[in-house]
Amino acid sequence: MYNACTMFFETLQITFSATMQVLLLGACGYFAVKGKMLDNRGLDQLTAVLVNILLPCFAFTQLMQHFSFQEFPYWWKLPLLYAGMALAALALAYVIGFGFKGHRKNEFLALVGFQNCGNIPLVVVAALFTGQPAHTLYIYIVLYIIGANLLIWSLGVGLLLQGQKIKMDWKKIFNPPLVTTVLTMTLIGFGAQHYLPQVVIKPVEMLGNCALTFAMFTVGGGLASLRLRHIAIGPMAMVIVTKMIIFPLLALGAIVAFKVSGLIGFLIILEAAVPSAVTLSLIKRYYNIEEDFVSEGVFITHLASIVTIPIFLTIYMKMTGQF
């Protein structure tokens, strides 16, 4: 019993340390904005660099160097995995959120249904894994994000805009990371990875290596720029309990029931435990939606993730004996 408890807390310490590394990167961006070293315009420009250059370079490098259709024959299941998890979370939110009315209910659904599936998972993986397992998880996450990009910029926007006289911008679905992923996989299908010279690959790799740091820096800066007013404690507690506790527990139950193990199981529990998508706040800003419940939910779930991510990763790792 003593040894089991000791091992549990050792694993918890490892995962907590990884989570804190992620959040410390975010804290740099947070205090850069709060300290007026970076204003909203500068943050928007950094975000544009991240989305339009660094993340595409990261996706290109990881896929070109570590992906092949022979090694990942079921790659298409990763976008479907996101769709399945998002729809399951939305269904859970719909059942639990019966007390919400009107636009607030749609925002509750969005906060629970769409998670920060790229930036935080990538940095957590970088903190916990090295070598081939890390590269495999990077590819899983890059492919998983394909489903996220398609759903959040369609169904997610639809939820937030319901009842408002605003036209959806469908072009936003086809963002640079998604387009780069599709084009890179097409090139790999034709064997282009064997012919690209290092003079091309190396600069792209160097830019891609900056993506994870910039990702958390912009997440932290984005949280600092959110307008937080009087947070409704009751509704926000429902968001935390549903998104950060019940859904990860259900994910653990599904992992046990379907006997999922290894890196896929780790991906599932990690994605289930992460906070609500910062993209929801970007959608809110892009479409000039004034309701602050989304911004508050994004902020609070990120604070809650300091506890939830280490705990659920520790439980999964103890279940599977990874540590």
52-56, 218-222, 289-293: range with lowest mean pLDDT = 289-293
The pLDDT of 99-118, averaged and rounded, is 86
Q: Where does the pLDDT of residue 154 fall: very low under 50, low under 70, confident under 90, or very high at 90 and above?
A: confident
- 14-320 belongs to CATH 1.20.1530: yes
The residue extents of the domains of the chain are 14-320
The pLDDT of 93-112, averaged and rounded, is 86
The whole-number pLDDT of residue 308 equals: 87
The whole-number pLDDT of residue 1 equals: 46
Q: Look at 148 and 279; give whichever has higher pLDDT.
A: 148
Compute the mean pLDDT over every residue in the chain, rounded to the nearest whole number: 84
157-179 residue pLDDT tens: 888 887 666 676 777 667 788 88
One-letter amino acid at 26 equals G
The pLDDT of 86-112, averaged and rounded, is 89
The pLDDT of 127-156, averaged and rounded, is 88
Query: What CA–CA distance (Å, rounded) separates 113 from 107?
Result: 10
224-235 residue pLDDT tens: 766 666 677 888
The answer to whether 246 touches 88, Cβ cutoff 8 Å, is no
pTM of the model: 0.82
